[in-house]
Amino acid sequence: MRFKRHMELEHGLKQIDIAPLIDMVFQLLIFFMLTSSFVMQPGIKINLPKALTSEVVRPENVEIIISSENVTYLDGRVVNAQELKKMLTQISKRGQSVLIKSDRRASLGRVVEIWDMARDLGISQINIATNQE
C-alpha cells in the first residue's frame, strides 16, 4: 500500500472556501443571543448616602427601603404606616434587627419616624445603610 506524500487540492481549487464556516458561526451567535435570557432583576432603585465610618452588617436583617419619593417598602412591597407598625411588632417579637435603606433625596423626617416607631416597639438593633465610597 502506497500513500501519497503530498496531497493536492482538487482540480481548480487552490483555496479553502470559508464562507460556510462564517455562516455557521453567525448562526450560532444568533442562536445563543436569542436563547439567553435578558431578564432584568426587579428591584427598587435608591442612591445611598456616603459615609466614611460604615461597617458591614449581617444579611439576616429585615430591610426597610425608603425611595426618593418617600415611598416605604418592606420586603419589596409597598407598605403604609399601619402595616409597617404591624410588621415591626412581629419583627421585635422575633428579635431581628432592622436595616433602613434610604435614598439621599428621601425626607429625613420619614427616616426618623420609622426609626422612632421601631424603637417604641422594642427593636434594639437598627442600622442605616450607607455607601463607603
Check which CATH number belongs to the domain holding 119 and give it. 3.30.420.270
Q: What is the grid cell recorded at 76?
A: 419589596
What percent of the chain is modeled with pLDDT above 70?
A: 71
Question: What is the structure's pLDDT at 22?
Answer: 93
CA torsion angle 7 10 12 17 (round to 10): -90
Q: Is the entire prediction scored with pTM above 0.95?
A: no
- Tell me, yes or no, whether 96 lies in a domain: yes
> What is the reported pLDDT for 29?
93
pLDDT score of 58:
59
Please tell me what DSSP assigns to residue 31.
H
Q: Is the pLDDT of residue 116 over 80?
A: yes
Strand partners, 131: 50
55-65 average pLDDT score: 73
Domain extent, residue 85, equals: 62-128
Domain assignment present for 11:
no
- Note whether residue 6 is domain-resident: no
Q: Does residue 24 fall inside a structural domain?
A: no
Residue 23 lies in a domain: no
Structural domains of the chain, count:
1
Q: Is residue 15 part of a domain?
A: no
Indicate the range of 4-8, 19-23, 85-89, 121-125 predicted with least confidence. 4-8
